[in-house]
Every structure is written in C-alpha cells, then in structure tokens.
Structure 1
Amino acid sequence: MPHDPTLERLANATLLVPFESLQAPRWILDGLADGISGVCLFHNNLESPEQVTALNASLCEATDTPLISLDEEGGDVTRIGQARGSDYPGNAALGAVDDPDLTRATLRALGHQLSGLGFNLDLAPSVDVNVADDNPVIGTRSFGADAELVARHAAASVRGLQEAGVAACAKHFPGHGATSQDSHHTLPRVEADADLLHRRELLPFRAAIDAGVRSILTAHIELPGLGGGDGPATLNQALLNELLRGELGFDGVVVSDAMDMRGVSGEIGIPEASVLAVAAGCDLLCLGRFVYADQVAQVRTALVEAVREGRLAGERLEEAADRNARLRQWIRDSAEGRADAEDNERVGLTGARRAVRVDGDLPPLENPYVVEVDAPAGVAVGDVPWGLGPWFSDTVRVSPETDDPTAVLTAASGRDLVVVVRDAHRYPTAQAFVNALISAYPKAVVVEMGLPIWRPDCGAYVSTYGAAHVNGLSAAELLGSTGALEAAR
C-alpha cells in the first residue's frame, strides 16, 4: 500500500498518546513533529515539579504548542498529587460547600499550577450527576446528586481552569453518574427516558458549554433513552453529532475517554474502536495509559486504511484536525493574555475545611488510636495515599476481609478510638468491621472520607467528602492533631 504522508498526518492529528517514561522517547518527539496533536501524562511520567517542567518543555521543542494533558481533577483523582494526595479538595467537597466562587477560585489555582508545570489541557472537570450510590467510578468525583448544583459548579470549574490558560474538558458525556458498573471493565447501561436524561445528565453539559468549555470527553456507556441504538456513547454518531453538536450547540473538541477501556474496545480492539470513534464524531482520541509506539502505529494505520476503504470520510479527519488545531491556537492566545497567578495556595485547604461536616458530639481526644479500614481504589484514582496517618502517630491500616476486630480492640484498649473509612456504603465487610469496633466503643469517632451515605451509630460522625491530602488535614485539625494544627498554620 503506497505511503500517503498527508493522510497519515491527518490521522496523527486525532491522537492524544501516552508514553512509558520520565523523559519523552524518540518515537514521541518524532510523532509530535509528524503531526500527533498531543500527549496524556500519567503517574509513570511524573516524578518531581522540576522533572515535569523539563519534560513538558522538551515536548514543546518538538512542535508548536502540542496538547499536553493529564487527568487532574483535584480531590481523589490526581496525578500531580500522587505522592501524598491532592492539595485541592475535589468535587464532592466543593459541591457540599456549594459556593461557585470558591469552586472557580479553586480550579483557577489548580489551573495556574498546571500551567506553571507546562500543561495546557486538563481532562476535567467531571460534571456527572452522581445519582447511583453504588457508582464505582464517579462517587466523590461528582459535585453531587442534584443536577442544578452540578451545573453551577461545572460552569465555575470551566471558567476557573480556563482563566488560568488551561483548556477544560467536561466529562463524561452524556453523563456517567447513574451507572453501577465501571466502564474500565465493562459497558454500563443507563435505563432512563429522554426527558429525565435531558433534565438531569445533560444539564451540567449545557452549563459547561455556556461557560465556554473548550473540550468535552465522551463516556463509554449506553443510554438508549437518548437514541442512536446500542453501544457506547463514544461510538454513537447520533449522540455526538445530533445531540452534542446540534441540540447543545457545542463547537469545540470532542475527546474520547481512554480507548483502551473495555467499555469501548473490549470486543473489537483499540484500532477498530478508534476508527468508529472518529467516524462518530470524536476529534481527539485519548488512547489510554499503556498504548505505546507499536499500538499507536496500528491506530494510525487503521484510520488511514478506513479512509482508503471508504469507511471513514477524509473530510471527517480534516474536520477533527482543524478543531484540534483551533484548540492549540486558543492555548497560544490564552498564554499571551493570561494574568499572573494569584497568591491563593491556601484555597484548597480553605475549601476542605468548609466542606467538613460533624454529626454528633465530637469529644476532646486524648491519645487517640486511629484505625483506617482499607478500601480498594478505583482505576481512575490509582495508588494515592489517603487517611489520617500523616497526622496521628498511632495509626493502623486494616483489611476488613482478613483482619480481626478483636485484635484492634485489644490494641486500642483504654484509648479514644477513631475509625476512618472510605465509601463504607459500598463495602459490607467494612461495615461489619466498623460495627464490631463500635459495639465495644460506642463513643468512637468515625471519619468517612468518601460519600457519607452509610452512617453507623457512633459517638461522632465526620464527613470530609473526599480523601485528598487537604481533606485528611482538615479532619485531623478537627480531631485536635497537633501536627495538623501546625501544618495548617
């Protein structure tokens, strides 16, 4: 088959690719020079602010203003805060406060930090309306279960990030909040009629569009109530064109969720799913975390061959390339007109403090024994520290499946007991473990660092609405940790 550099460059323009190292490998630098639109960085690319800044500078030397993106939502989903947790409280905490000015300031501060590191596209905010208590993939990533509240904060987040010169990306269109399955592993299905979906799922996306969001990220979920038949929204032309482009009037970049997720490519493979996504209306393919040089080449080849076979219109590639080029131009223009970063490094802790809620009487704690009941982190969250351990010297992490509550009670004998959980409503074994502790310590303090849905009969119940570093610090302050009080000064 003859080599067609023009067509291959158009195919490259649809790609947002990962890579495997702390420095950009040659295939990335060459790919950017050959028209790849940008990269998506993950934990394996990030070591220190100095290293990240140098890495991103090297990417910009390969081409003019590549898209340099990451999933930095603040709160539980953080890349730059992986080492100790985020300095920003996250969406559930901001929604609990319900002060759009605070949300805007928080995301503006985050945006300035990202821009200072060399990032220009943030795959955030999540504007899903989390109405499923057992949702395994959204949860605290959502501002809440009320569509109007989520819409207010969606708009505030978009404005905050973009005021800092970082393009926002509202996700996960048309809304992942009513699912009880994780699209990383399967294809979730939302059974709701069109009227409800318009009033609930779509309202925050309308607000984000009205706020000028530059990009929107698709969900690998089925919503038959919105039309277009079965299959993931990412591959659904009716949803991406008639609904998002037509009815909602969005003219920015449509970004796919990661194409290595089973919800979109599990049955057909990443190259074919990528062809179908671009044909359906995706402009920028976020390939995932581990799709490296050879697989990137396979995706590019699949797009080129689909055009030659007539399965993908060449005009669709040109349209996608043009939209992505306009996004890069917006980034250049924003950099020229962006104001200096404000002195707002404490805004994250301020929001976390305002979000904390206490039910019951919180006693003065003397010599507390802190028990953290472990819970699995979702794929989107990854391995990020959480809990109260940094501020309490006597902290133990237990597994509710394998550890014995009796041993914990023996160790805690004669001391004040603090029990820390994360989304305990989703884990019956965690509930049973906590109940066993409370049966012996009815005045125990329970700190919920996920969504405060399951509430045991305890002395005091503290809700942080997230497990970021600042969420833990704000709870530790309330509990009287000397270290936390000193750290917060």
Structure 2
Amino acid sequence: MPKDATSRDPALLRLADAVILPGFPGREPPDWVRRRLAEGLAGVVLFSRNIGDPEQTARLTAALRAERPDVIIGIDEESGEVTRLEAATGSSRPGNYALGVVDDVALTEELARDLGRALAEIGVTIDFAPAADVNSNPDNPVIGLRSFGADARLVARHTAAWIRGLQSAGVAACAKHFPGHGDTNVDSHLGVPLVSGSREELAEVELLPFRAAIEEGVAAIMTGHLVVTAYDEAYPATLSPKILGDLLRHELRFDGPVITDGIEMAAVADRYGIPGAAMRAIAAGADGICVGGEHDDERIVEEIRQTIAGAVAEGVLPEQRLAEAAERMRRLAAWPATARPAADAGKPAVELPEGVPIGLHVARRAIRITRRDPAALPLAAPPHVIEMTPQLSLASDRHTPWGVGEPLGRLLPGTTVARFAERDGQVPGAAELDAALAEAAGRPLVIVARYADRHRWLAEAIDRLLAARPDAIVVEMGLPGRTDRGAVHIATHGSARVCGQAAAEVLAGLAP
C-alpha cells in the first residue's frame, strides 16, 4: 500500500469504492462487507461458497441490501456447467450448447426467463451471462459447452433470446467475454489467450453475437482477458483502450457498464498484479472490477481501492475516467428499479409437457442417438456404469455432480458406478480400467465421458473398454465428436444434472 494511503482524498476513495465488486467467504456477509457497502462499495459477487438453499440466499441478499438499498448483487450463473445456484446438486437447466442444438429461440428465451425469476426471488440484480462466445475452436479449453455453438448467426440469435428472457424477469444480463473467447486454445484463468483473426473475420464471427446483444438492450458487457491482435497486439482486451474504447464504445456504440472478468485471473494479474490490473482496466475503459473468485478478503479490496485512488492522485488515471466509471456503475445499481419486467413474465411463452420443468424439457430435446445395434436399447438389466472426466476449467466447480449413473440407479435399481477423474495430470491406468470392466461381467456396460475427443487418455480408455465390450453403450456429455463408438452412442450436449437424467431415461427405455 502506498505510504501516504491514509491521507488519500476521501472523495477519490469513494469513487474507487464505486467500481469494485468483490466476493467474500461464507453464507453471511462479513462485517467488512457490511461496512464498506454502507460507505459506498458498488456491490458484491456471489459464488457457490455463499449459496445454500434459496431461503438462505434471500436472507443473505436482504442483509446486503440493508446496508445499501441499491447494492449490485452479481452472480456467474450460466446454467449447465457453470452454476453457482446449484453447484451442490448439478444444474436443473442445461447450458448454452444444448440450447443451440435444439435451436428454438423461444425455448432459449423461456429458459432464461425461468432462471431470471429464480435469481430475482433470491435478490440477485445482475447475472454475468450469457456467454456470447462463438466456439469456433474445438480445442478451446474454457468455453466449449458454455457457447451456443460454432455458428456465429446461431450464437447471435440465442444470445439475444437469452438476454430478452433474463431481463424480462427483472435481472440484468451481462454478455461475455468481449470481444469473443471462442477461437482460443488457452484458458485465461491460466495464461493469455490469443485471437489472431483479421478485423473482417472478427466482424463476421466473434463480434456478431455482441452486436445482437447490444441491439437487444443488454444491460452490461463483460470483458475477456485475451489479446486480439487485429485491434491491439500489446494488451488483453480488459486492459486495452483500443478495444474497450475504439471498438466497443465508438464502433459498436455501447454506452452501458463494462465489467471485467475476474481480475485475479492469470492473463492479466500475472503481469500487473491484481491491484495494478484493476487500475489499468479502469484506465482502459472498464467500469466495474470483479474480484473474489480466489481472493475474497478485505485486504485485496483495500489494495485495489488504494491503487485506483493513488493512480488518480498521481495523474496516471484521469479522475474524469474514474468518475465516468462510477456513474455507469450507479446506473447499473439503479437498473432493477427502472427495468420493467414483462407483465406476463410469470407465464411460460412456450408450451411445455404437463409437469415437466423447462430445463428437463430442453435436456430431452437435446439428446441425439446413433444406433449401431437397435437391440441394445433399452437396457435389459441394471448396468455397470463407468464415468470418466478430464480436469475442467476453473470456471466450473469441480465438485458439482455430473453423470448418468446416479439418475439411472433411481430408474434401474441395482445399477453400479465406477468413476475416474483426471487430477493434476494423473489419469486412470490399464489396471484400474480392467478392474472396472470386471465389475461389468454378465451385465450391460455403459461408458460415460466428457470431451472424449479432446483428451487422448479418454479416447484411449474408451477404445480399451470397447475392445473388451463392443456391446457397450457410450454416452458423451461434453462437446460432440465421434458417434461411431459403441453399440449405441448417446450425445447429451451437456453435463448438467438434467442432461444426465435425460440420458438415463433413454437407457432405461423411459424417454417420453
């Protein structure tokens, strides 16, 4: 902290407070969060560590609102693989990729409206979603199922529908990760992704969904920590005036608040430190700083606050720029009061089967089946299920349940499950796979995987299992790839809880 921090201009410190959105530990607001909200902190970001049941979360947000009635309460709730609301159980709504496969914009809008109602009921004011990235690189380690697909026009129309649905329920949407994280092969949690397309290529692909989001009236846009060489070879978008100013503000004419992705992510923090990256983001044109996914204490908030105020005092950051950012965040805080939820927001805009939640309905419609042996379904007896997953991006909670074995066990009692997960590069060996195979002797075998075509060890493990049991059924719960594996191949296009349930219904012969 600077030596003269205690004598910093209180007005500058209040402006700095007005652009910070921190996380915090626990399911009740710490004293420091309460105090800082009362003093002008913009708001907070909720993570799965803060969330129990809806009643608890509503009490939490009410306590925050008691300190500042217009507090911004954000959450990173995409549904599907990135869920904070249902991290403990798995999401009751599929993610974007399943929606893109179904390709029914009315259904996408309705699912987002359903999510918006759930968020509004617990006091959330902004959802850092949808991901408007076009997943044009199949080796992308962080987007994948979070995208609506690889076709820019499909992504654009579903991005608009998702925003329309969420905001009709009174919750602000925040399209991300500008200007598009889809054509990368580096996870920005861990390094600096590079997008090397020309401006013409970016206009036709990456930028198309963001244009649609802006036209739809999206409340906010979240930056991506990626270098886009066509606009700025030196700085990631979050820190680039050329991208946040020239491109987003002037060319795309977006005048709403721009919020950073987690500022502690390696793509920006490794070079500048967390406080330094936060200050540079504000200077580049961002308005709100998200922090707290990994650093959730008061110390980091104070360091960011002092660094931003200090940069103004030293003439590095224009005070007008900080004041502009603070004003945009005040407008975001006022958004719920000025937004007018649709009068019919409580009524489904699409016809659903009686008694079927929209998330399960979408998951069922997203299932795709390739049959090589028509007699393999339905299963003739309770099977043995082998589930395998790679190590996922930090965007997903690795403890969130997934798979087919658990829901299948409810439908076919006697089902057994063996689970294997990559951990820090360690993957199951031949002996472990052979032991799991032995448990399936005399019974049907179901092999379940996520992203099998992206990870060599997974593809080889499936091949080993199928060499011994060509009658096995393969269920892919990541991005679709080869469909010629197994007697039957089932693609769920997501690993949310409802995706596993939908696959289990197919296996048990109970699909509607």
Does 2:97 align with 1:92?
Answer: yes
Q: How many pairs were matched up? A: 483
Q: Is the 8 A contact 2:167 2:341 kept in 1?
A: no
Counterpart of 2:496 in structure 1 is 468
Counterpart of 1:359 in structure 2 is 370
Counterpart of 1:390 in structure 2 is 406
Q: Could you tell me how far 1:456 is from its partner in structure 2?
A: 4.7
Q: Could you tell me how far 1:455 is from its partner in structure 2?
A: 3.7
Q: Taking structure 1 as the reference length, what is the TM-score of the superposition?
A: 0.96
Q: Distance in 2 between matches of 1:272 and 1:291?
A: 17
Q: Could you tell me how far 1:59 is from its partner in structure 2?
A: 0.4
Q: Could you tell me how far 1:394 is from its partner in structure 2?
A: 1.1
The amino acid across from 2:269 in the alignment is S
Q: Distance in 1 between matches of 2:96 and 2:113?
A: 14
**C-alpha deviations, 1:343-374, integer Å up to 9, x for none?**
68711111111111001135220222111113
User: Which residue of 225, 228, 237 maps to 1:220?
Assistant: 225
User: Which residue of 228, 234, 240 maps to 1:230?
Assistant: 234
Counterpart of 2:254 in structure 1 is 250
Counterpart of 2:388 in structure 1 is 373
Q: Is the 8 A contact 1:260 1:291 kept in 2?
A: no
Counterpart of 2:412 in structure 1 is none
Q: Distance in 1 between matches of 2:96 and 2:255?
A: 26
- Aligned to 1:439, the other structure's residue is in SS state helix
Counterpart of 2:79 in structure 1 is 74
User: Which residue of 270, 273, 279 maps to 1:275?
Assistant: 279
User: Which residue of 271, 288, 294 maps to 2:292?
Assistant: 288
Root-mean-square deviation over aligned CA pairs: 1.6
Written as runs of structure 1 = structure 2, the 5 A alignment for 1:21-40 is 21-40=26-45
Q: Could you tell me how far 1:339 is from its partner in structure 2?
A: 5.4
- Aligned to 2:272, the other structure's residue is in SS state coil
The amino acid across from 2:319 in the alignment is G
Does 2:216 align with 1:211?
Answer: yes
Written as runs of structure 1 = structure 2, the 5 A alignment for 1:150-161 is 150-161=155-166
User: Which residue of 105, 108, 117 maps to 1:112?
Assistant: 117
Q: Distance in 1 between matches of 2:330 and 2:135?
A: 33
Counterpart of 2:469 in structure 1 is 441
Counterpart of 1:191 in structure 2 is 196
Q: Could you tell me how far 1:192 is from its partner in structure 2?
A: 1.3
Q: Could you tell me how far 1:133 is from its partner in structure 2?
A: 1.0
Does 2:440 align with 1:425?
Answer: no
The amino acid across from 1:397 in the alignment is R
- Aligned to 2:172, the other structure's residue is in SS state coil
- Aligned to 1:426, the other structure's residue is in SS state coil
Q: Could you tell me how far 1:5 is from its partner in structure 2?
A: 1.8
Q: Is the 8 A contact 1:209 1:250 kept in 2?
A: yes
Q: Taking structure 2 as the reference length, what is the TM-score of the superposition?
A: 0.91
Q: Is the 8 A contact 1:448 1:465 kept in 2?
A: yes
The amino acid across from 1:178 in the alignment is D
- Aligned to 1:395, the other structure's residue is in SS state strand
- Aligned to 2:227, the other structure's residue is in SS state coil
Q: Distance in 1 between matches of 2:299 and 2:212?
A: 39
The amino acid across from 2:420 in the alignment is V
The amino acid across from 1:447 in the alignment is V
Q: Is the 8 A contact 1:83 1:384 kept in 2?
A: yes
Counterpart of 1:480 in structure 2 is 508
User: Which residue of 97, 103, 106 maps to 1:101?
Assistant: 106
Q: Could you tell me how far 1:288 is from its partner in structure 2?
A: 3.2
Written as runs of structure 1 = structure 2, the 5 A alignment for 1:122-161 is 122-161=127-166
Counterpart of 2:424 in structure 1 is none
Does 2:412 align with 1:412?
Answer: no
Q: Is the 8 A contact 1:23 1:55 kept in 2?
A: yes
Q: Could you tell me how far 1:233 is from its partner in structure 2?
A: 0.5
Q: Is the 8 A contact 2:259 2:290 kept in 1?
A: yes
**C-alpha deviations, 1:256-304, integer Å up to 9, x for none?**
0000000011122011111100000000000131242011001000011
Q: Distance in 2 between matches of 1:409 and 1:339?
A: 53
- Aligned to 1:68, the other structure's residue is in SS state strand
Q: Distance in 2 between matches of 1:235 and 1:96?
A: 34
Q: Distance in 2 between matches of 1:172 and 1:477?
A: 35
- Aligned to 1:216, the other structure's residue is in SS state strand
Q: Distance in 2 between matches of 1:455 and 1:355?
A: 15
Q: Distance in 2 between matches of 1:481 and 1:118?
A: 40
User: Which residue of 347, 356, 361 maps to 1:350?
Assistant: 361
Q: Could you tell me how far 1:65 is from its partner in structure 2?
A: 1.7
The amino acid across from 2:66 in the alignment is E
Q: Distance in 2 between matches of 1:4 and 1:167?
A: 33
The amino acid across from 2:378 in the alignment is P
Q: Is the 8 A contact 2:142 2:187 kept in 1?
A: yes
- Aligned to 1:40, the other structure's residue is in SS state strand
Does 2:303 align with 1:298?
Answer: yes
Q: Distance in 2 between matches of 1:317 and 1:473?
A: 49
The amino acid across from 2:477 in the alignment is M
Does 2:51 align with 1:46?
Answer: yes
Q: Is the 8 A contact 2:377 2:509 kept in 1?
A: no
Counterpart of 2:479 in structure 1 is 451
Q: Distance in 2 between matches of 1:66 and 1:266?
A: 30
Counterpart of 2:428 in structure 1 is 401
Q: Distance in 1 between matches of 2:32 and 2:344?
A: 35
- Aligned to 1:370, the other structure's residue is in SS state strand
Between 1:361-370 and 1:233-242, the stretch displaced more is 361-370
- Aligned to 1:84, the other structure's residue is in SS state coil
Q: Distance in 2 between matches of 1:313 and 1:244?
A: 20
Q: Could you tell me how far 1:404 is from its partner in structure 2?
A: 2.6
Q: Could you tell me how far 1:112 is from its partner in structure 2?
A: 0.3
Q: Distance in 1 between matches of 2:470 and 2:341?
A: 59
Q: Distance in 2 between matches of 1:56 and 1:454?
A: 45
Q: Distance in 1 between matches of 2:347 and 2:333?
A: 24
User: Which residue of 263, 267, 288 maps to 2:267?
Assistant: 263
Q: Is the 8 A contact 1:164 1:339 kept in 2?
A: no
